[in-house]
Chain A
């Protein structure tokens, strides 16, 4: 900058020149001094002030070079103070410059921002997914609760998606609309709202809001000085008004707005006044200049969910844990039931005679059973079907073997011995005990066996009631019809009686011999009698003698002494005879009672 002293020179010279035209010589010198004096009087203070100001300007040193040196530091210091005014002031110029640069050198800008663009996109996607997950989590979390059911009912009633209902209830607050309103006219300058919000008429809202503010301002004049109406509630909505000199910012918030949001509203209205100062002052109805302000308003739209860690923890985990526990319990129950059913099947098979289960594997799709089975044992498939088991899902592998289970041994013996249905069989140790009744031929055949069924070392048939052959039965019947007759009051054997006794002894011996093979023998009881005449005591004695005499004769004829016994009836138990003339004769007799008895040796050894 020029030195003020040097700038005075032309004035002085002009002064001199002017003075020179009026006079010359000393007169000129005197005139100069006078003029200088006069100048000092007239403009002296101003000149001094001018010089002082010039010197201040020079001290500030705002030369382009110095400004270039100081500007970065100055910007840094201002920014470092956290003052946003500088950024707001510079923003339009920077945006303009950036826009111009992008327009002229798009590739260079693209290359420059490429390293930050990728992470930014990833971050944005991650945030969106995180929001989605939070929404789904919130939805799932509330699905299992009573409150969740209530909200589901609300969603059904109102037609709003369930997730949205959950969010509306779980959110802390949500800025749904932001309106920028011209303070004086109440006209809407800019309006943004949440994308999912039902469209509202911003013009009418801003007009009515302004009217209400005016009304409140008129009614409560004192309060107007401190901002007037700053908020009001409509149902769940709170409208927060942030007034500025030229414009008003109104935020429609669902839920209680926190202090930081109100501070952001204030900062935003300040920014708008700074950026759109000219447009606001010159506003005469044209809202086009305020279109860019929508970016600032958009920044205020937000949904903040409750982030209480306990709630998130509960929402995130308990339904999953509950679902997992229920699933596990269900699986455990199903597995327990399947295991029980399988155990019953295996136990039943193991209890079945003739079946030995070696391996039993239960699988989810197919199960496997393997072991040994006696051909006489029950069929496993039929048994499982009877238990209600799906046999198509079970693979069975059974090897044949000879079972020593008693029932199988008995069944095997019954088949092998061809035991009649009337014969019962039981196994006692290794002895097969036969019972019931059977033809003597079967008893004899069994006695002849030399190869017994497996599991049997002895067969006992002594308890079998032998069905006598026709020949023996008829022989016994004939013998029992016979009478050895005696003379009156005599116990002596007549020759005819001896013949009867001999033939009877012969027949008895033959039959006894055949019975002994099957462990039976014959026993003979001799019943002595007397006719009704005479004393009872005499008759009793006589009948005993008669029986004894017949017994001795039989023994002499070869009948075993132990096989014959006697009984004396006297005249007390007479034989029933229709012919009265023959009754006395028939009762002077000895009659035969033949019995088949078991022999001591009844077990057939192997």
Chain B
């Protein structure tokens, strides 16, 4: 059986836990519960006819000077960076997160979830901003609330991790 460690990384309150809840349990809650440390979940996906178990490490979001522990990222096979469509600073932290991942896990498949895409009126991340990183990351608009892009982002990362041609890298 094939397993992959996937880390969810982002600033606090970007919706990492909500994305995992929506993806694994098809649930969404408006209430916000800050993640303490890390939460582990699991989802089996099918990639080109093979089952792949994604072990999802929902790591507590960066808050102030509190850094994301590199030890949690070590050995990750793929990473999902989560930024908030409505908060600029969550987007700006992505390069730092990328550096952290490369230091702890090396170069691994990475995708960016631009979450809360349902809140279009409050959007602060401009398409130009996205364009800036488009060559580096696969950026997907997601909404844990509506389910938009949730399945897609995990599927894309899964395909990238098993090196399906044309997948994100």
Contacts and interface: CB of A to CB of B under 8 A. Distances in A.
Interface in A247-295: 284-288
Nearest to A216: B71
B72 A214 contact: yes
A186 interface: yes
Contacts of B77: 185, 284-285
A231 to B, nearest CB: 19
A206 to B, nearest CB: 8
Contacts of A208: 38, 40
B8 interface: no
B40 to A, nearest CB: 4
Interface string B64-78: 000001011011110
B41 interface: yes
Given A203-B3, A207-B57, A211-B57, A185 B37 contact: no
Interface in B10-61: 37-38, 40-42, 52-53, 55, 57
A185 B40 contact: no
A287 B75 contact: no
B5 interface: yes
A287 B37 contact: no
A288 B1 contact: yes
B164 to A, nearest CB: 14
Contact of A287 (B1, B71, B76): B1
A204 B75 contact: no
Contacts of B76: 185
Given A215-B37, A218-B69, A201 B74 contact: no
Interface SS of chain B: strand
A184 interface: yes
Interface string A309-345: 0000000000000000000000000000000000000
Contact of B74 (A214, A286, A287): A214
A183 B161 CA distance: 19
B141 interface: no
B2 A286 contact: yes
Contacts of B75: 182-187
A440 B53 CA distance: 130
A241 interface: no
A188 interface: yes
A207 B40 contact: yes
Nearest to B56: A207
B161 A285 contact: yes
A211 B38 contact: yes
A188 B3 contact: yes
Interface string A177-192: 0000011111110000
Question: How many residues of A sit at the interface, in one of the four size bands?
Answer: 20 to 34
Nearest to A207: B40
A217 interface: yes
Nearest to B70: A218
B5 A215 contact: no
B4 interface: yes
Given A186-B55, A203-B42, A211 B1 contact: no
Contacts of B42: 201, 203-204, 207
A187 B37 contact: no
Contacts of B53: 203
Contacts of A184: 74-75
Nearest to B40: A207
A211 B5 contact: no
Contacts of B37: 211, 215
Contacts of B57: 186, 207, 211
A184 B7 CA distance: 13
Nearest to A288: B1
Nearest to A217: B71
- The prevalent SS among residues of A at the interface is mixed
Contacts of A183: 75
A287 to B, nearest CB: 5
Interface in A213-253: 214-215, 217-218
B55 A211 contact: no
A287 B52 CA distance: 11
A393 to B, nearest CB: 76
Contacts of A188: 3
A182 B105 CA distance: 14
B40 A211 contact: yes
A423 B77 CA distance: 128
Interface string A457-490: 0000000000000000000000000000000000
A215 B39 CA distance: 12
Contacts of A185: 5, 74-77
Nearest to A187: B3
Contacts of A217: 71
Nearest to B53: A203
Nearest to A212: B37
B75 to A, nearest CB: 3
B71 A187 contact: no
Given A203-B53, A214-B74, A285 B4 contact: yes
Nearest to A204: B40
A186 B56 CA distance: 11
Nearest to B41: A204
Contact of A285 (B3, B40, B41, B71): B3
B167 to A, nearest CB: 15
A471 to B, nearest CB: 133
Q: Which of B3, B5, B76, B77 has the most C-beta atoms of chain A within 10 angstroms of its own C-beta?
A: B3
A285 B74 contact: no
Contacts of A288: 1
A211 B2 contact: no
Contact of B72 (A187, A203, A211): A211
B55 A287 contact: no
Nearest to A286: B2
Given A204-B41, A207-B40, A215-B37, A187 B55 contact: yes
Contacts of A207: 5, 40, 42, 55, 57
A187 to B, nearest CB: 5
A51 B161 CA distance: 54
A208 B57 CA distance: 9
Contacts of A215: 37-38, 69, 71
A156 B83 CA distance: 53
A201 B43 CA distance: 12
Nearest to B104: A184
B3 A218 contact: no
21 contacts: A184-B75, A185-B74, A185-B77, A186-B5, A186-B55, A186-B57, A203-B3, A203-B55, A204-B42, A207-B42, A208-B38, A211-B40, A215-B37, A215-B38, A215-B69, A217-B71, A285-B2, A285-B3, A285-B161, A286-B2, A287-B2
Given A211-B38, A217-B71, A285-B3, 10 more contacts: A184-B75, A185-B75, A187-B5, A188-B3, A208-B38, A211-B40, A211-B57, A214-B74, A287-B3, A288-B1
Interface of B: 1-5, 37-38, 40-42, 52-53, 55, 57, 69, 71-72, 74-77, 161
Pick the 6 closest A-B CB pairs, nearest first: A185-B75, A184-B75, A207-B40, A214-B71, A185-B5, A211-B38
